[in-house]
Amino acid sequence: MLSKILVPMDDSEHAGHALEYALDNHPDAEVTVLHTVGVPSMMMGDAVSLTLEDDLDDAAAERAESVFERAREIAAERDREIETIVGIGHPARNIIDRAEEYDTVVVGSHGEDWSRATRRFLVGNIAETVSKRSPVPVTIVR
């Protein structure tokens, strides 16, 4: 029986499905939603702009809030509560670094739809990287 589940989330539909899956299939587990901000990109826009903020933690929390609002709505529809945490940097590294604190990770198969080419090249790569390197079992949800 699983007691602690980590669900990485971004703005993607697949991430929402991952949270729904975790909540629906593990009704007694404590579910924590992780959103990573300051994701490195080819142009380094998000990562650089985040480092220019006066208070990095406040800026990261502010950027994560819209994802957490959506996650709380999904949980409320199921009469559940969730914990939320913000990571900074690369999503796969954040997930893997935190995974050992949980019984499992439930992740969406693809993340934010930046562009079709980028999604194919990078975003699906996060789920793949986590599934290969996680110290705990990983469920990939479509």
**Mind listing the pLDDT tens digit for each residue in 10-27?**
999 999 999 999 999 999
Residue 88 bridge partners (DSSP):
37
Closest CA to 142 of 53, 1, 20, 6: 20
Q: Which domains are present in the chain?
A: 4-141 (3.40.50.620)
Dist. CA 109–CA 126, nearest whole Å: 8
Binned average pLDDT, 10 residues per bin, the chain of 142 residues = 95 96 98 85 51 69 95 98 94 96 95 50 76 97 92
pLDDT of amino acid 114: 43
pLDDT tens for 92-113 read 999 999 999 999 999 999 765 5
pLDDT in the model for residue 115: 42
Tell which residue, 44, 89, 81, 92, has the closest CA to residue 63.
Answer: 89
Amino acid at 14: H
7: amino acid identity, one letter: V
Residue 47 CA to residue 118 CA, distance in Å, equals 17
- Tell me the C-alpha distance between 68 and 102, whole Å: 19
- Cα distance between residue 26 and residue 22, in whole Å: 6
According to DSSP, residue 85 is labeled E
The whole-number pLDDT of residue 125 equals 86
Structure pTM?
A: 0.85
Which structure tokens are listed for 84?
């939320």
Please report the pLDDT score of residue 51 as a whole number. 55
